Structure formats: structure tokens, C-alpha cells
Amino acid sequence: MLEKELEKKFTEKVKAAGGRAYKFVSPGNDGVPDRLVVLPGGRIGFVELKQKGKKPTKLQSLQMERLKGYGCFVCVLDDPEAIDSVIFGIEQCTGEQHDIVLDILEAGGLI
């Protein structure tokens, strides 16, 4: 699946969950994740979308690590089957739980 197709499917699922998946662009800060997701209850996450098997660039990885350092939910999504799991992760995640939630999703092969 092409990245733009995955992105469309992802934004539709976020909308169905009652949220918004804003295209995230930050001038002067190249490499930020593709989408800033806002869900009911003040849940916020950053999602980098990739074609299956593609890896983030070094700059993208650096930006994601910075956001994680602030306690933000950040992940790479490259599989349409994992969309629901990513949305669930954002819904369940607080700063202290970030690494635990990501470890669970990753262990299950969901992200």
C-alpha cells in the first residue's frame, strides 16, 4: 500500500473515532511526524506514516525521539492492519505510560 493510501485510511479511521489527524508541518523543523492526532479526552499523538518496510530517516528518528522525550505518544505506522491499534494506543496513553503502551503494541507486531 502506498503511503498516501495508508495516510487516507488512517485519517478516516481517526475521524471515525471522533478525532482529527492534522497534517503536521513545522517550518524550520524538518523531519517532524506526518500527522498530529487529536482524540477526545485531550489525547494527542504523533504518527509517522511509511510504506510497508520503509524506515524513518535519521532526521525523522531524531525528531520522534525528541517528542518522546517530552512524554508524547509517537510511533511509525506502515501497516493498515495496525491503524486501530495505533488509535487505541493514543487513546490509552499518558506521558508515564508511553513506553509501556508502545512496548505492548510492538510486542504484538502491531507497530
The band of 83, judged by pLDDT with boundaries at 50, 70 and 90, is very high
How confident is the model over 75-100, as a mean pLDDT? Answer: 84
Are 65 and 98 in contact by the 8 Å Cβ rule? The answer is no
Domain containing 12: what range? Answer: 3-107
Chain centroid to Cα 6, Å, comes to 12
The band of 71, judged by pLDDT with boundaries at 50, 70 and 90, is confident
State pTM to two decimals.
0.84
Provide DSSP, the chain.
--HHHHHHHHHHHHHHTT-EEEEP--TT-TT--SEEEEETTTEEEEEEE--TT----HHHHHHHHHHHHTT-EEEEE--GGGHHHHHHHHHH--GGGHHHHHHHHHHTT--
Model confidence at 105: pLDDT above 80: no
CATH number of residue 61's parent domain: 3.40.1350.10
Q: Report how many domains make up the chain.
A: 1
pLDDT tens sequence across 11-56: 999 999 999 999 999 999 999 999 999 999 889 999 999 999 899 9
